[in-house]
């Protein structure tokens, strides 16, 4: 597709369940980012990849959160043993390449809204 | 560490009035600065970007922002607000390199007819 695609758009789960959120970036984009956005707040960085390599995971809150991008395209953010505090909008973005002349020019998907009951 | 502070979580203006959304940054090195806009039920969209080429940056939809190093500010302006400008606006910063964007908390702009 032309833009960044995220699925599912909405996910309701019970506390303790695992969830997987998918991101399909713009074709040809090297860098892929995951952000989390709580209601009334700005996006908070979680992790990012260049190609398949995870460059920075300093924003992942704890070891229940993990992300992968095995073939350098689609990425999955996995949250294990979900807790109510994990409820938020999870946003994926892609860019041509981090650190290049297009630094900071991110293209965002519409997000996956996670609700943990 | 880099950070941005957006003054005012909600700004309301009349249609046709000046729009001014404030952003102050903190950075240990000359930063790249951005404004993103988020319309309801959509993803964030780049509005404009400062990379040191010029201190006054023009973006889409008639918006512009001026980088003022002495004030560590990067305020967003538009001379005349339109109803379609109603959205959430986010200021963001990154140092020159591979560090991901750090976003402010956002300012919700309402435009009154």
Closest CA–CA distance from residue B104 to any residue of chain A (Å):
5
- For residue A55, the cross-strand partners are none
Query: Contact B32/A103, CB-based, under 8 Å?
Result: yes
**B85 pLDDT exceeds 90?**
yes
Q: What percent of chain B has pLDDT over 90?
A: 78
**Segment B1-27, tens digit of pLDDT:** 789 999 999 999 999 999 999 999 998
Average pLDDT (B32-49) is 93
The beta-carbon neighbor of B43 closest among A4, A44, A98 is A4
Tokens of A113: 């809204």
Q: How far apart are CA B65 and CA A103, in angstroms?
A: 18
Residue A60 at interface with chain B, using a CB cutoff of 8 Å: no
Q: How far apart are CA A110 and CA A1, in angstroms?
A: 13
**Segment A41-89, tens digit of pLDDT:** 999 999 999 999 999 999 999 999 999 999 999 999 999 999 999 999 9
- Dump the DSSP string for A26-60: -TT--EEEEEEE-TTS--EEEEEEETTEEEE-TT-
Bond into A40 cis (ω within 30): no
Token look-up 């704890």 returns: A62
pLDDT score at A1 = 55
Residue A89 at interface with chain B, using a CB cutoff of 8 Å: no
Q: How far apart are CA A28 and CA A2, in angstroms?
A: 11
**B45 pLDDT exceeds 70?**
yes
Chain A positions touching B103 (Cβ under 8 A) are 35, 42-44
**Segment A106-115, tens digit of pLDDT:** 999 999 999 9
**Who's near B2: CB < 8 A, 6+ residues apart?**
B25, B26, B27, B28, B31, B93, B94, B95, B99, B102
**A32 pLDDT exceeds 80?**
yes
What are the two backbone dihedrals, phi and then psi, of residue B69, each rounded to the nearest 5 degrees? -60, -40
Bond into A8 cis (ω within 30): yes
């Amino acid at each position: 597709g032309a833009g960044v695609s995220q699925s599912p758009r909405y996910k309701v789960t019970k506390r303790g369940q695992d969830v997987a959120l998918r991101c399909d970036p713009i074709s040809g984009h090297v860098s892929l980012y995951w952000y989390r956005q709580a209601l009334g707040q700005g996006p908070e960085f979680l992790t990012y990849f260049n190609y398949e390599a995870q460059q920075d995971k300093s924003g992942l809150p704890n070891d229940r959160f993990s992300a992968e991008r095995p073939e350098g395209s689609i990425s999955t953010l996995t949250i294990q043993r979900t807790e109510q505090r994990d409820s938020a909008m999870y946003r994926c973005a892609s860019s041509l390449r981090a650190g290049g002349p297009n630094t900071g020019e991110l293209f965002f998907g519409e997000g996956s809204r996670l609700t943990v009951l | 560490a880099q950070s941005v502070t957006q003054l005012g979580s909600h700004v309301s203006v009349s249609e046709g009035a000046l729009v001014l959304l404030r952003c102050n940054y903190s950075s240990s090195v000359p930063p790249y600065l951005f404004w993103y806009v988020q319309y309801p039920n959509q993803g964030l969209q780049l509005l404009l970007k400062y990379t040191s080429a010029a201190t006054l940056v023009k973006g889409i939809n008639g918006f512009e922002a001026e980088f003022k190093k002495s004030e560590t500010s990067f305020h967003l302006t538009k001379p005349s607000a339109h109803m379609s400008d109603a959205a959430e606006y986010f200021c963001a910063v990154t140092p020159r390199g591979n560090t991901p964007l750090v976003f402010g908390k956002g300012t919700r702009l309402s435009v009154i007819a």
